[in-house]
Structure 1
Amino acid sequence: MGSLTFLQKQNPAYWMRQAYNDFKSPYLGMWLFWRPALVINSPEIIKRILVKDSDNFRNRFMSSGKTDPMGSMSILLIKDPAWTSLRRRLTPIFSAAKLKKHYKIVQVKSTDFIQRIKELSAKKIYFNLRTLSADYTTDVIGESAFGMVSESAKTGDSLMRGIAREFMAFNIQRGLSWSSIFFLPEVVDIFRFSFLPKDTLRRLRIIFRSIVEQRGGFDKKIDEPQDLLDALLKIKQEADEDGEEISEDFLLAQASVFLLAGFDTSGSAMSWVLYTLAWHPHCQEKIYEEIIAVKNKHGVQDLDANTLSELVYLNCVIKETLRLFPPMGWLDRVATKDYKIDEKVTIPAGTPVYLNAVATQMDPQYFPDPLVFNPDRFMPENERNITPFTYLPFGEGPRSCIGTRFAFQALKQPIASIILTFKIETLPDTPSPIDVQVENHGLFLMPLDENMKVKFVPRDLE
């Protein structure tokens, strides 16, 4: 599978789905260049790996090397037991109570985002949804993780947005670096590949140091963190008190990954939701009616965190969109010790294991009419009947995505605000959501920009 990314012939997520349908087996073997690997299709075995026997699969296979200390110490790539310690310290940052303190950032950026859509719509400019959405998510995550106020959502450009674009710009060097980190980590040190481009990291370091200095330095006591950056600084202070050393690079690695691994995956998810809703106006109206009902119930004008938490159908729309278009095409783990799957197969220690959730989410056995957009699948009375471990857009178990709550908060506010303000309509000669092309050279299921345009019609002009 690794060669697919080098050759840029097929998105790996599509390969995983094709292999699932071609072989119809609980698991299948493949080659990552010269290394044997195992793809797991069975939800029961996936559950064992992610939860029941997760102690043997704590680490991801993808990894960086000694020549890339920043990448290798990030929450995404760090190895156990360092991962366990880091996860324990970071988890409280993403609790529901703590995220309410970050909600003001989401509200402000959503307001900027809506104003920009109004201005573009008035000029009949039909902007690429992926670009537009990433402008917003860069602002939200950049301000939360780095404490840097930007205006990408309002203007489409900022220093942080430029850094994010630089990070995602594809070239041969980046393709080789990421493919090696994901599929062939043995060569990372040989060729000095890195997860974060050197220039990107240099610019982020300057911003990080500047903001920390503005806040009084690393030693200023933080009692109640107001954003992710405060929380990271508090982690360092608590570690110092416990006699542990946490370096500036360690903190910068986490902030950088929150931003750079989050802005495009969240932006992509939002663009898929908005584009899909354009093709399903009845779903838009159900969301609109739900928002009005909840606002009337509480007698509020603005969408606050409590109001958003009661938007059940909007939750269903986001979940169903992520079923069809999950950002990540697979979940990867590596066996720490030999692991017996059944009487036929034992996974040798060090073997990469890929969990094929991108395929189970499209299996009619688990999701009837899988190509049909049907948010009702995730209504509470229906969701409980979904076979466990067939739907994993954020993973599951100890190493699931730590930012799931943050992502949902950042998505729900602007989507709800857009539905309150506009009707989203399709444009002529645009493909249906399921026919939108995705990046072949990407490691994620990202839409091509030019395929994601819609028309926003202000509701007050109807």
Structure 2
Amino acid sequence: MFEVIVQAILVLMVLLLTILYFYLRRQYDYWKDRGIPYEKPTFLVGNLGRLLRISMFDFMLNLTKKHKTDYFGIFLGWKPVLVINSRKLAKKVLVKDFEHFQNRYSFPGHADDPLGALNLFTVKNPMWGTMRNELAPMFTSSRLKKLAELMNINSGELVRRIQADYIDNNKPVDMKELFSMYTSDTVAYTVFGLRVSVLKDLTSPLWFITQHMVRWTFWRGFEFSMIFFVPAVAAIMKLKFFSEPATNYVKKLFWDVVEERKKTNNPSNQDLLHLMLQLKENLKLPVGSDKELADNLMLAQAAVFILGSIETSSTTLSYCLHELAYHPQVQEKLYKEVSEAMEQTGKDILEFNDLLELRYLTACVKETLRKFPTLAFLDRVCNRTYQLTDDVTIEKGTPVYINVHAIQRNEKYYPEPEEWKPERFVDSSTDNDNHDFTFLPFGEGPRFCIGKRYGMLQVRAAIAQMVMKYRFEPKDPYNVETDPYSVILGPKGGGKIKFVLR
């Protein structure tokens, strides 16, 4: 009897494997059958065989160098994905025909992870549209002007921290960690109205959260990779967008601040928490919604803003200073621009409007974002069958990746694309200029990054003060390895330069 059971199980396993084999074989012919060039897949993993061995930044960059067509196919596991290299086709997906591509492909989260499921980055329409409209007032010019004052204070602390740690005590530099501290201090006030400074005294409730969010271990890299690239696996494994400690601490801090304001009757109308509490009172939720939905929506936006603003800005600062260190002539030109602005205004610290007028500084930041976009792709999923070109029909449920690398390193738009040349952007009019869809580090269309102006401002404020105090000299090799565990771009080891007093 036992032998019969064993034989039956073996037969069943062979049958299931046979079915799986023919299913995957059919799937892997998907692009071939449609006459679309594609990257040859490997059984089960598709084109993700080197996942967590190389970064997604390098993965997309390698595909960019290999495929020069307007579009091509890849396989994330067994799922066929269309990759778009063309700015014109990108415009159709992101803007012109947005109604066909309203949502991201990444795992939308589950009930056990409301902060991951309901944040502005992952949440699906129509809830996404509601939250987007409600959060927009957080980034008006009047609010950003007030935040610029705090960013300048924190930039001053950043300058002093560099003096104490890396000049006086000769500690090894970890730029990613250093700039995560700076952005963490700014976010503490932006989200919770807390004036704290990990740069100044090493105590900050936000720094605990930040360390869990931006330190990429193998496991966190695996979680994010599955969430972004293989949502089916993420759903089965119930993977979370934010780690358990970070989730719990965000919740505790949020409600502690709320209770403190109730006791002191001292509300702040400038931070995200205040905006969220107002939203909760007026938000029209779907009929039959869980009573905790409104609370979870608030917490989710706070959490994703912390992650987004800290991770992206600290990365951009790290790569920008690395390039400045290797381009001393550019660095001196930047120093001259900032010093002349201070002389003309008669100020020791440049304010909101002054920072916006620094065209060469803005050009340095934009050129960094062109060469080192924090996300190498923009993911969307087709919600109904769509005719992209005369030859390409995208079926409902098919993911589409806008290949930011292919567009921003296209030599037709940017000659010598591997070179870092801020002059490309000196005549750029505003932060919202996408250069006819050849500059997409913040995305574009209705789902563009809502914190774009905030991020650009805090990067400007930090660089303006650092360049006045220090020269930046090379420490790492010019071609810095990227962190293979991080889905969001980051330099392996944090990135290092030498700070030298002027």
Q: Distance in 1 between matches of 2:202 and 2:312?
A: 18
- TM-score, normalization by structure 1: 0.91
The Cα shift of 1:148 comes to 3.2
For residue 445 of structure 2, what is the aligned residue in structure 1? 397
Matched, 1:197 2:269: no
For residue 460 of structure 2, what is the aligned residue in structure 1? 412
Q: Is the 8 A contact 1:141 1:263 kept in 2?
A: yes
Q: Structure 1 60/99 Cα, relative in aligned 2: closer, same or farther at 3 Å?
A: same
Q: Distance in 1 between matches of 2:89 and 2:477?
A: 36
Q: 1:229 aligns with which of 273, 276, 290?
A: 273
For residue 456 of structure 1, what is the aligned residue in structure 2? 499
The Cα shift of 1:348 comes to 0.5
Q: Structure 1 6/146 Cα, relative in aligned 2: closer, same or farther at 3 Å?
A: farther
Q: Is the 8 A contact 2:217 2:485 kept in 1?
A: no
1:22-421 correspondence runs (5 A) = 22-66=66-110, 67-120=112-165, 121-155=167-201, 158-216=204-262, 225-239=269-283, 247-380=294-427, 388-421=436-469
Q: Secondary structure at the match of 1:377?
A: helix
Q: 1:19 aligns with which of 63, 85, 91?
A: 63
Q: Is the 8 A contact 1:376 1:382 kept in 2?
A: no
Q: Is the 8 A contact 1:277 1:283 kept in 2?
A: yes
Identical positions, percent = 34
Q: Distance in 2 between matches of 1:392 and 1:116?
A: 33
Q: Distance in 1 between matches of 2:425 and 2:401?
A: 26
The Cα shift of 1:242 comes to 13
Q: Structure 1 180/344 Cα, relative in aligned 2: closer, same or farther at 3 Å?
A: same
Q: Structure 1 247/381 Cα, relative in aligned 2: closer, same or farther at 3 Å?
A: closer
Amino acid at match of 2:310: F
Q: Distance in 2 between matches of 1:377 and 1:251?
A: 40
The Cα shift of 1:4 comes to 3.3
- Map Cα deviations across residues 328-361 of structure 1 (whole Å, 9 max, x no partner): 1110001111110122210011111000012221
Q: Secondary structure at the match of 1:297?
A: helix
The Cα shift of 1:264 comes to 1.7
Amino acid at match of 1:330: F
Q: Distance in 2 between matches of 1:165 and 1:252?
A: 18
For residue 12 of structure 2, what is the aligned residue in structure 1? none
Q: Is the 8 A contact 2:47 2:74 kept in 1?
A: no
Larger gyration radius, structure 1 or structure 2 = 2
The Cα shift of 1:8 comes to 1.6
Q: What is the total number of aligned residue pairs between the two structures?
A: 452
Gaps of 5+ in 1: none
Q: Distance in 1 between matches of 2:262 and 2:364?
A: 43
Amino acid at match of 1:416: A
For residue 36 of structure 2, what is the aligned residue in structure 1? none
- Map Cα deviations across residues 245-264 of structure 1 (whole Å, 9 max, x no partner): 86222111100110023212
Q: Distance in 2 between matches of 1:62 and 1:458?
A: 45
Q: Secondary structure at the match of 2:384?
A: coil
Q: Is the 8 A contact 2:222 2:485 kept in 1?
A: no
The Cα shift of 1:100 comes to 1.3
Amino acid at match of 1:151: S
Aligned-residue Cα RMSD (Å) equals 2.6
Q: Is the 8 A contact 2:363 2:428 kept in 1?
A: no
Amino acid at match of 2:300: A
Q: Secondary structure at the match of 1:331?
A: strand
For residue 25 of structure 2, what is the aligned residue in structure 1? none
The Cα shift of 1:239 comes to 2.9
The Cα shift of 1:240 comes to 7.4
The Cα shift of 1:212 comes to 1.3
Q: Distance in 1 between matches of 2:332 and 2:407?
A: 30
Q: Structure 1 170/126 Cα, relative in aligned 2: closer, same or farther at 3 Å?
A: closer
The Cα shift of 1:364 comes to 1.3
Gaps of 5+ in 2: 1-44
Q: Distance in 2 between matches of 1:381 and 1:12?
A: 29
Runs of 4+ residues over 6 Å off in structure 1: 240-246, 381-386
Q: Is the 8 A contact 2:48 2:76 kept in 1?
A: no
Q: Structure 1 150/52 Cα, relative in aligned 2: closer, same or farther at 3 Å?
A: same
Greater Cα shift, 124-133 or 149-158: 149-158
